[in-house]
């Protein structure tokens, strides 16, 4: 038995962060029902490098975090569809939505209305800046939050900055934090029997992702400067090798001592971090010369054998070919899924349980594929379902 079996989640979210939060609980056994507008569905359905999939409404951005979900369509601007939604919520444990703050309340589907209908409901709202404050009504995506939060300004080099991160890290961090908040709320409900209101902001998540920078700024008043591939210490930075790039990770005093001794330069080892900073230029010059004598792969093998953190810089294709990926089962491969043609794989969860852990049970579904079945479960007969379809409510 997985942790969230028996829990029903209504996933009224779109793009990446919200769907990823619900996906994580779905991997752990929750029943997730994804709700989309019949004519304006989740925009991720049409995003990704495979245009044939985009045209089919099954773009790779959508596939990434929508396995293990049933999919229904509701036009929540219509009262008939809102009534369906209320019936869903009355039987649900969790509602996750990521529309503009106030949008669901304006439809009569806000926290106050729905918690009155279902006092045990956990109502999670994910937004750019939170439900209150001067920016509450503003909308944003991952890259816009990167720009707003100072993350872009801290990324890049002295010559080339600000730089956006190459992956939508804030989206997925927000989804992960959302899953954590939902799990915590469900745990608390087991103790109190009460529902919960969760207000999760991408902007706040971005600041938490820069937690060390935030703390340092509170002390110094200085914003972090972009360091590129150079970390604070020379032995913890990236260098050009004879072939490729090698990232050294000799971070603490013990590791840097081990590195210098392994390289035959024990006199370069320092007794304190202050000494390391004072000799930074000298250390970088020495390491640049040494690392240029062998290939990055040679250095990785040689240093790791001596328990010194180091890695050759790889691209994604190389990383996914690493046998460690297979060992960890962090991806689930789909083959023979109707309407998708070629096989594809999606990330699962970055952890494993000894028993009852996360797993993928079903592939991502086409738009509205489960609408009729879910309506029937809610008590709508064939005639009522047909009327809803004819009115464009589903």
Q: Is the pLDDT at 47 greater than 80, yes or no? A: yes
Reading the block at residue 225, the tokens are 């400067």
Phi and psi at residue 235, to the nearest 5°: -80, 5
User: Is 341 found in the same domain as 197?
Assistant: yes
Question: Does 229 fall in a domain?
Answer: no
User: What CATH number corresponds to the domain at position 80?
Assistant: 3.40.50.10540
Q: Residue 108 in contact with residue 82, Cβ under 8 Å?
A: yes
Convert the pLDDT of each residue in 212-224 to its tens digit: 999 999 999 999 9
User: Is 336 found in the same domain as 285?
Assistant: no
Q: How far apart are CA 256 and CA 372, in angstroms?
A: 63
Instruction: Report the run of H or E that residue 94 belongs to, with start and end.
Output: strand 94-97
Q: Residue 242 is part of which domain span?
A: 234-313
- pLDDT bin (cut points 50, 70, 90) of residue 260 is very high
Question: Does 144 fall in a domain?
Answer: yes
157: nearest Cα among 222, 208, 227, 224 = 227
User: Is 334 found in the same domain as 288?
Assistant: no
Convert the pLDDT of each residue in 82-92 to its tens digit: 999 999 999 99
Mean pLDDT of 127-153: 97
Q: How far apart are CA 74 and CA 89, in angstroms?
A: 13
User: What CATH number corresponds to the domain at position 267?
Assistant: 3.30.1540.10
* Count of structural domains within the chain: 2
Q: How far apart are CA 338 and CA 318, in angstroms?
A: 29
pLDDT the model gives residue 340:
80
pLDDT the model gives residue 394:
98
Question: Does 309 fall in a domain?
Answer: yes
Environment class of 120 (CB within 10 Å of its CB; exposed 0-12, middle 13-18, buried 19+): middle
Convert the pLDDT of each residue in 154-164 to its tens digit: 999 999 999 99
Q: Residue 10 in contact with residue 89, Cβ under 8 Å?
A: yes
Mean pLDDT of 61-79: 98
Catalytic positions are: 231
User: Is 333 found in the same domain as 309?
Assistant: no
Last residue of a domain, one of 313, 348, 377: 313
Question: Does 20 fall in a domain?
Answer: yes
User: Is 286 found in the same domain as 167?
Assistant: no
Mean pLDDT of 190-206: 98
pLDDT the model gives residue 341:
76
240: nearest Cα among 296, 283, 285 = 296
Half-sphere exposure at residue 365, Cβ-oriented, CA atoms within 13 angstroms: 19
Angle formed at CA 261 by CA 257 and CA 263, multiple of 5 degrees: 120
Last residue of a domain, one of 282, 313, 344: 313
Last residue of a domain, one of 287, 313, 339: 313
pLDDT the model gives residue 234:
98
User: Is 186 found in the same domain as 296?
Assistant: no
- pLDDT bin (cut points 50, 70, 90) of residue 342 is confident
Neighbouring C-beta atoms of residue 255, cutoff 10 Å: 18
User: Is 244 found in the same domain as 179?
Assistant: no
287: nearest Cα among 304, 265, 257, 271 = 265
User: Is 170 found in the same domain as 44?
Assistant: yes
User: Is 205 found in the same domain as 240?
Assistant: no
Reading the block at residue 215, the tokens are 């703390």
Q: How far apart are CA 44 and CA 60, in angstroms?
A: 8
Question: Does 222 fall in a domain?
Answer: no
Q: How far apart are CA 52 and CA 42, in angstroms?
A: 17
Question: Does 215 fall in a domain?
Answer: no
Q: Is the pLDDT at 122 greater than 80, yes or no? A: yes
User: Is 307 found in the same domain as 203?
Assistant: no
> How many Å separate Cα 242 from the centre of its chain?
36
User: Is 298 found in the same domain as 205?
Assistant: no
Q: How far apart are CA 142 and CA 172, in angstroms?
A: 9
Neighbouring C-beta atoms of residue 279, cutoff 10 Å: 14
User: Is 46 found in the same domain as 164?
Assistant: yes
């Amino acid at each position: 038995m997985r942790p969230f079996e028996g829990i029903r989640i209504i996933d009224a979210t779109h793009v990446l962060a919200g769907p990823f939060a619900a996906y994580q609980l779905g991997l752990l056994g929750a029943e997730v029902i994804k709700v989309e507008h019949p004519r304006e569905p989740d925009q991720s359905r049409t995003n990704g490098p495979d245009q044939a999939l985009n045209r089919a409404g099954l773009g790779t951005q959508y596939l990434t975090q929508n396995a293990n979900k049933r999919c229904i369509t509701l036009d929540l601007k219509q009262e008939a569809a809102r009534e369906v939604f209320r019936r869903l919520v009355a039987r649900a444990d969790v509602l996750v939505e990521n529309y503009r703050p106030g949008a669901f309340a304006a439809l009569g589907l806000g926290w106050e209305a729905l918690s009155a209908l279902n006092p045990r409901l956990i109502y999670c709202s994910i937004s750019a800046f939170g439900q209150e404050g001067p920016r509450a009504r503003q909308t944003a995506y991952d890259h816009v939050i990167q720009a707003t939060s100072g993350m872009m300004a801290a990324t890049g080099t002295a010559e080339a900055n600000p730089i956006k991160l190459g992956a939508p890290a804030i989206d997925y961090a927000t989804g992960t934090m959302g899953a954590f908040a939902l799990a915590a709320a469900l745990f608390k409900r087991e103790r109190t029997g009460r529902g919960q209101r969760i207000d999760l902001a991408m902007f706040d998540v971005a600041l938490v992702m820069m937690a060390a920078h935030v703390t340092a700024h509170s002390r110094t008043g200085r914003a972090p400067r972009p360091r590129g591939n150079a970390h604070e210490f020379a032995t913890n930075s990236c260098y050009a090798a004879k072939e490729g790039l090698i990232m050294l990770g000799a971070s603490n005093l013990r590791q840097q001592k081990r590195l210098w001794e392994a390289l035959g330069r024990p006199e370069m080892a320092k007794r304190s971090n202050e000494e390391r900073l004072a000799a930074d230029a000298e250390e970088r010059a020495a390491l640049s010369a040494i690392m240029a004598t062998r290939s990055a792969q040679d250095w990785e093998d040689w240093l790791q054998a001596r328990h010194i953190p180091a890695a050759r810089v790889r691209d994604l294709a190389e990383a996914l070919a690493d046998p460690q990926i297979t060992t960890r089962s962090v991806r689930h491969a789909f083959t023979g899924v109707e309407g998708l043609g070629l096989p594809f794989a999606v990330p699962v969860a970055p952890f494993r349980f000894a028993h009852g852990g996360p797993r993928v049970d079903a592939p991502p579904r086409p738009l509205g594929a489960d609408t009729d079945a879910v309506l029937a479960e809610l008590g709508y007969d064939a005639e009522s379902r047909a009327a809803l379809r004819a009115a464009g409510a589903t």
